[in-house]
Structure 1
Amino acid sequence: MDYRSHWGRSGMAVSLLSLAVCQVVLAEETATVSDGEQLKFEIKQLKLINERQAQTLREMEQRLYSLESGRQAIQAEPQKQTAQNEVVKSAAPSSSVDNIMQEEHALFSNSFTVELGMNYSHYDRKELVLEGFLALDAIFLGDISVDDISADIYTFDATGRYNVNDRWQIGATVPFVYRNTSFQRNVNGVGAEATVDEADLGDITLTSAYKLFNETASRPDIVWNLSIKAPTGSHPYGTPTVTKSVTNASGTDTVTYPKELPTGSGLWSISNSLSFVKTTDPAILFANVGYTYNLDGSFDDISSTSGDQPGDVRLGDSVFYGLGMAFAMNERMSMSLSVSQRISQKSETRLEGSEWKDIFGSDGNAATFNAGVTYALSDKLSMSTTLGIGLTPDAPDFSLGVKFPYRF
């Protein structure tokens, strides 16, 4: 065998083997490099997936939190409204509003109320009286007299009110009356004057107030009021008169006046009325309308002349109304303005065995403008003041009143 050809074949084999080995090594290295890149790629993909999942998880958690917060808010809203309603219901109204309701309507929030009050009224009536006749329709022949009646009336009263429940209230008022009246008459320039005063118990009044309807957005608070006045004061029927004469160089003047003054009407009376209150922030509107019926009464003497003349008396019935508004200035003080009017029919008398006869000038029309201020001295004690100005001759010229209600 030729060693050169053998060597050549052997070298070729070695070369082929080396080439194969190199290819295997290269393949392994290439595989190693490819596996590393693939692993890096997969790791990167997993990281991206994890980041997306984390973001999705955060979004889902945020959405869940929002849904749960919204549900809690919805569930909490009725509770909040209920709590607010409970607070509103449990919170007592301001003292100024209570005072307005007490004076102009009826207050049902307290179990018992005691009220002490005083009222002063002044009357002054001057009348020009012509005693003579006209000559030739132009010249007056006779005496001209000036009659002046001035009266001061002080009324001290104690009132108690008890709330049977939150819709019904009963009460009673016991007055004590002091009257002082001055009578003057001047005909001949002399002038005669007399003064009479009287102090006694007045007519006791029993009252009842029942709430028919509570106030709504379209309807006022409506209360039905019923009062009965008992003739516990001294009556004016059969009161004797006294004549006083004054004489000087100019002549003689005489004045006739009653020996005593009454402190009551002497008859039972029943008043039936409705009162209304509507809140229109910041004002409170109030009104009332009613009718007073006077029962007939019999007396041993109904005439001022000497001797007893028994008979019956029938005072004229009356209708009355009032309307006004009040303002709560702050939590403790309030102010009110109102107008009231009472129109009375003529009274009648009947001597025993005769017919009813009208009493001349006994009908009346008394209208008054009222202004009042109330102030809460404490949570239970208040002070109420009123000023009344007469608008018609039958009303007092002016009146002043003060009350101190204490609520238990």
Structure 2
Amino acid sequence: MNLWVMRGFLLCSVVGLPLSGWAQDSTVDKAREALGQQAEDEDSSRQLEEVFQAAEKNYSLQRKGSHALTYSFDYSFTGDQRLDLSIRGGGIQNVDVVPSATHNFTNAFSYDFGLKDNLTVGVRLPLIVKYDTQDELSLYDMGDVSATARWQPIAYVPGKVSPTLFATVTSKTGTSPYEIDVDEQLSSGSGFYTVAGGLSASKVLDPVVVFGSLSLSYNIPEEGLNQVRGARVLEEVEPGFGASGSAGFAYSLSYDISLSISAQLSYSDETVLSFRNGTEAVAQDQMTGFLSMSLGTRISDTTIINTSLGIGLTEDAPDFSVGVSLPINISGLKD
């Protein structure tokens, strides 16, 4: 988160796992029972729950009145090949294959607050650094800020599937790709507002937690643009809708280490670009697949660090990504 993925997934990207260190006391007791721990192992059981929670932070809810501040860093690389053609007199005079590479660094701060034991709201602020090594372009800017609400309609019951409903609104605070000089600048945002919602579910199968989610998103059309693209001026963008599904599991290797593996498949509808001269251009729909692996490691009684590796499974996905996230302990945010 994220996934969100990003993440954030980001995610990337926004559901609740019942094995949360911040869940209400009755829920924590039931989770301990589901994990098969004895009463005298209460401290170890709580550690195990926290490791599970840390392995997939997006699958957790806050206890009423509690706060959480998290920092995450993600790096992704996208490589491609561009054809450089020289056409003269109606024929191709020169063909050159030019490699391209984009490096994307995201520093994100996420804040969550428990309105109720089963209702958590949060906000995510990404800071983007991007490099295009082929065109020698760089960018240092804020990304698209998002706000999320997660709600568990029914209490967790050991051995039963625990559902969570979620909704996300993403702003266009980042640099829009439809308001820049495409030959001289890079973008840090999508350029439009997005509203998304969906359902996630998880189940404890000692010592494994399996989870999955489905979501739909609607991208609000952007009008009133004035971007020069070649010999035409772009005035309107209709990005359409998107759909996403993911599934995976978290496995406790010990009380201090857990492993999480998940796969995500996303679909993006075609984008229609409308120009001032009355013409239109259509960017075809895309299908993106991504495989993520995360390792949660306890380094102290209050801190668990998550490291992750992602691998793109389709042509439109980033080639790979690496990331790390950890909680920020601020005395003013403690209960």
- What TM-score do you get using the length of structure 1 for normalisation? 0.65
Q: Deviations over 1:54-107 (max 9, x none)?
A: xxxxxxxxxxxxxxxxxxxxxxxxxxxxxx99969x87732212324524x123
Query: Which residue is 1:291 aligned to?
Result: 216
2:273 is the counterpart of 1:385: no
Cα distance in 1 for residues equivalent to 2:288 and 2:160: 30
1:344 corresponds to which letter in structure 2? S
1:359 maps to 2:282? yes
CA contact (8 A) 1:380 1:406 kept: no
| Partner deviation per Cα, 1:102-135 (whole Å, 9 max, x = no partner) | 24x1233471110011100000001456767xxx
User: What are the Cα deviations for residues 13-69 of structure 1, in whole angstroms up to 9, with x where unaligned?
Assistant: xxxxxxxxxxxxxxxxxxxxxxxxxxxxxxxxxxxxxxxxxxxxxxxxxxxxxxxxx
The equivalent of 1:112 in structure 2 is 67
The answer as to whether partners of 1:298 and 1:310 remain within 8 angstroms in 2 is no
Whether the 8 Å CA contact 1:371–1:386 is kept in 2: the answer is yes
Aligned residue among 71, 80, 99 for 1:125: 80
Which is helix-richer, 1 or 2?
1
**8 Å contact from structure 2 (residues 248, 261) kept in 1:** yes
Given the alignment of the two structures, is residue 323 of structure 1 paired with residue 247 of structure 2, yes or no? yes
Q: Percent identity at matched positions?
A: 20
- From the superposition, tell whether residues 278 and 204 of structure 1 become closer, same or farther in structure 2 (CA, over 3 Å): same
Q: Is the 8 A contact 2:126 2:144 kept in 1?
A: yes
Provide the C-alpha distance between the structure 2 equivalents of 1:240 and 1:101, rounded to a whole number of angstroms.
38
- Hey, what does 2:177 align to over in structure 1? 236
Counterpart for residue 28 of structure 2: none
Matched with 2:295 is: 373
**Amino acid across the alignment from 1:398:** F
- Given the superposition, is the C-alpha separation of residues 379 and 275 from structure 1 closer, same or farther in structure 2, using an over 3 Å criterion? farther
Are the aligned partners of 2:272 and 2:283 in contact in 1 as well (CA < 8 Å)? Answer: no
1:171-182 matches, within 5 Å, as 171-182=122-133
Alignment of 1:197-346 (within 5 A): 197-216=138-157, 219-241=160-182, 258-305=183-230, 309=233, 311-346=235-270
Whether the 8 Å CA contact 1:207–1:226 is kept in 2: the answer is yes
Instruction: Name the SS of the counterpart of 2:57 in structure 1.
Output: helix
Contact 1:346-1:358 within 8 A present in 2 as well: no
Q: Measured at CA, do residues 109 and 332 of structure 1 come closer, stay the same or move farther in structure 2, by a change above 3 Å?
A: farther
Q: Distance in 1 between matches of 2:303 and 2:61?
A: 14
Residues of 1 paired with 2:154 and 2:84: CA distance? 54
Q: Which residue of 2 aligns with 1:76?
A: none
Structure 2 unpaired stretches of 5+: 1-31
Distance 2:326 2:207 in 1: 25
Give the letter for the 2:46 counterpart: P
What is the identity, as a one-letter code, of the residue corresponding to 1:106? S
| C-alpha contact 2:62 2:112 (8 A) present in aligned 1 | no
Question: How many pairs does the alignment contain?
Answer: 289
Which has the larger displacement, 385-394 or 109-118? 109-118
Matches of 1:146 and 1:396, distance apart in 2: 20
Which residue number corresponds to residue 96 of structure 1? 51
Deviation at 1:220, TM superposition (A): 1.0
Deviation of 1:387 (Å) = 0.3
Equivalent residue letter for 2:198: S
TM-score w.r.t. the length of structure 2 is 0.78
- Distance in 1 (CA, whole Å) between partners of 2:222 and 2:177 is 12
Following TM superposition, by how much is the alpha carbon of 1:273 offset from its aligned partner in structure 2, in angstroms? 1.5
Paired with 1:177 and 1:238, the residues of 2 have a C-alpha distance of 17
Task: Indicate the structure (1 or 2) with the bigger Cα radius of gyration.
Answer: 1
Structure 1 residue 298 displacement after superposition: 1.6
